[in-house]
Amino acid sequence: MSQSIIPFFSLHTVHEAVREEVQAIITRVYDADWFVLGTEVAQFERAYSVFNEVQHAVGVGNGLDALTLALRALGIGPGDEVLVPSNTYVATWLAVSHVGAVPVPVEPEYTTSNLDPSRLVAAITSRTRAIMPVHLYGQPCRMPEIMALADSYGLLVIEDNAQGHGARMAGQLTGSFGQASGTSFYPTKNLGALGDAGAVTTPNEAVAYRVRQLRNYGSLQKNQHDLLGYNSRLDELQAAVLSVKLQYLPRWTAQRRELATWYNQYLADIPGLRLPTVIQSAEPVWHLYVVHTSQREELQHYLMAHGINTQIHYPVPPHRQPAYAQLNLRSKLPIAEELAATCLSLPLWPGMTEQMVMRIADTIRQFCEGTH
Ligand SMILES: *Cc1c(COP(=O)(O)O)cnc(C)c1O
């Protein structure tokens, strides 16, 4: 049994496809001798706003900063509460905490792992200012319901679109629903830079203007600082690389969708294994393919022993992190805990073959049929 190892994630195929173009553009930036806030950033911002079908995109240093600056630009701060999913990556919560507001977790739907609109109302108080839907795993949230609810309660919506580049719900792109959205171009995201990078997207010109100030010490004019800003700029090199890779993103997304279709097909009807749920009118981009089983640890070890690497997103929910111990939410969010204890992310990256998916599915079937 000396089969080759299937890595959880690989950039190999993607990076071979763009090698010459990326190297040429890196040389261009190197020779241009201008590395921060120049033409490459402006060009990428235009291209990304067109891609995301939203009026403005503002490049920033990373996804956490994108969310933080979006919240600050919308005036959310101390005394405010923001509704966040209980089962998201910790960055969503941290953005709220960093502007001085309080993250108020709302449990997700058990089937989709995404925000449950029917649970939002019960969490709204007189201090609630905003909702932060997270399009987890590249599956769009139920945005029509969430937007309608936000409208009727006068709440803002800031989407965490770090895993959702190019996903649609009811025909509309995620990252274009809310008053602002934050996204990440961390190397392993569907659109990844060669280091940290992120962007705020917004239909609102005033919000875009404020994020441009905030990312650059609160300043758009040399030596004039209108706000207590940060240093969180997307740099020219990353922007140039992202412009090249953005052109390929639709192709890579199509490959992810094909891989997900194969997984759905080959993993069908396995006892004790729950597959991802795609809701009606959703066009996911499959950042991750996540299954659930009560024997997660055993299955992960079995796959590892058979040369298949998997990961867990995320094993410890934010409310169980030491950083959030003071919120006293231990044991109050059972769905988040159950999902964290049972989820397993299977390999999914452009360049994977149908044979690899079949081998992974066969191995999972062997394990599950042997233990059920
Ligand atoms: C990756 C990620 C972030 C943070 O992005 P960084 O660029 O790593 O700061 C935020 N939210 C979610 C859901 C993510 O997956």
DSSP structure class, residue 321: S
88 CA: nearest ligand 1 atom: 13
CA–centroid distance, 19 to ligand 1, in Å, is 25
Residue 9 pLDDT > 70:
yes
What's the pLDDT score for residue 47? 98
Residue 372 confidence class, pLDDT cut points 50, 70, 90? low
Distance, CA 64 to ligand 1 centroid (Å)? 6
Identity of residue 169? M
Tens-place pLDDT, residues 113-134: 999 999 999 999 999 999 999 9
Pocket test for ligand 1, best of 88, 93, 132, 163 (most atoms within 8 A of CB): 163
- 271-to-34, 44, 317 alpha-carbon distances in Å: 57, 46, 27
Q: What is the pLDDT of residue 2?
A: 57
pLDDT in tens, 320-348: 999 999 999 988 999 999 999 999 999 99
Query: pLDDT by residue (tens digit) across 27-41?
Result: 999 999 999 999 999
DSSP class of residue 216 equals B
370: CA distance to ligand 1 center in Å? 37
Averaged pLDDT, 100-120: 97
Name the domain boundary from 195, 229, 244.
244
* 122 belongs to a structural domain: yes
Which stretches does DSSP call E strand in the chain? 56-60, 81-85, 102-106, 128-131, 156-160, 168-169, 172-173, 180-184, 198-202, 282-283, 289-292, 343-346
Q: DSSP labels for 269-318? A: T-TT-BPPP--TTEE---S-EEEE-TTHHHHHHHHHHTTB--B-S-SS-G
Residues with CB under 6 A from ligand 1: 62-64, 88-89, 91-92, 134, 160, 162-163, 184, 186, 196, 198
pLDDT of 227-259, one tens digit each? Answer: 999 999 999 999 999 999 999 999 999 999 999
Residues 222 and 317 in one domain: no
Give a yes or no: residue 66 inside a domain: yes
| pLDDT bracket for residue 56 (50, 70, 90) | very high
Q: How far is the CA of 98 from the centre of ligand 1 (A)?
A: 15
SS3 6: strand
Please indicate, yes or no, if residue 4 is contained in any of the structural domains. Answer: no
Looking at ligand 1, which atom is closest to the CA of residue 67? 10
Tokens found for residue 101: 């507001």
Contacts 24+ apart (CB under 8 A), 49-54: 49/201, 51/166, 51/246, 51/249, 52/165, 52/173, 52/175, 52/176, 52/201, 53/172, 53/173, 53/176, 54/173, 54/175, 54/176, 54/181, 54/201, 54/202, 54/203
Alpha carbon nearest to ligand 1 atom 6, residue: 63
Q: What is the mean pLDDT of residues 137-155?
A: 98
Same domain, 137 and 203: yes
Same-domain status, 207 and 179: yes
pLDDT of 154 over the 80 cut: yes
Residue 150 has pLDDT above 90, yes or no: yes
Q: Would you state the pLDDT for residue 336?
A: 98
Query: Is residue 152 located within the same domain as residue 296?
Result: no
Q: Which domain holds residue 121?
A: 12-244
- With the most atoms of ligand 1 within 8 angstroms of its CB, the residue from 82, 86, 158, 186 to mutate is 186
Classify residue 221: in a domain, yes or no.
yes
For residue 330, the model assigns a pLDDT of 86
For 175-198, what is each residue's pLDDT tens digit? 999 999 999 999 999 999 999 999
Residue 5 lies in a domain: no
Question: What does pLDDT average to over the chain?
Answer: 97
Instruction: Give the span between the Cα atoms of 179 and 132, in whole angstroms.
Output: 11
Specify whether 204 is located in the same domain as 274.
no
What's residue 62's pLDDT? 98
| Mean pLDDT value of segment 249-272 | 97
353 pLDDT higher than 90:
yes
Number of domains in the chain: 2
**Phi and psi (nearest 5°) for 172?**
-105, 140
Could you identify the atom of ligand 1 that is nearest to the CA of residue 95?
10
What is the Å distance from ligand 1's center to 182 Cα?
A: 9
Peptide bond into 248 cis (omega under 30): no
User: Domain check: are 332 and 260 in the same one?
Assistant: yes
pLDDT tier, 371 (very low <50, low <70, confident <90, very high otherwise): confident
What is the SS3 assignment for 91? helix
What is the DSSP secondary structure assignment for residue 190, as one 8-state letter?
Answer: S
Q: What percent of the chain is modeled with pLDDT above 90?
A: 98
Distance between CA 353 and CA 211 in Å, rounded?
A: 41
Claim to verify: residue 262 and residue 225 sit in the same structural domain: no
Judge whether 1 lies within some domain: no
Residues 180 and 271 in one domain: no
Pocket test residue of 160, 215, 238, 287 for ligand 1, highest count of atoms within 8 A of CB: 160
At 302 the pLDDT is: 98
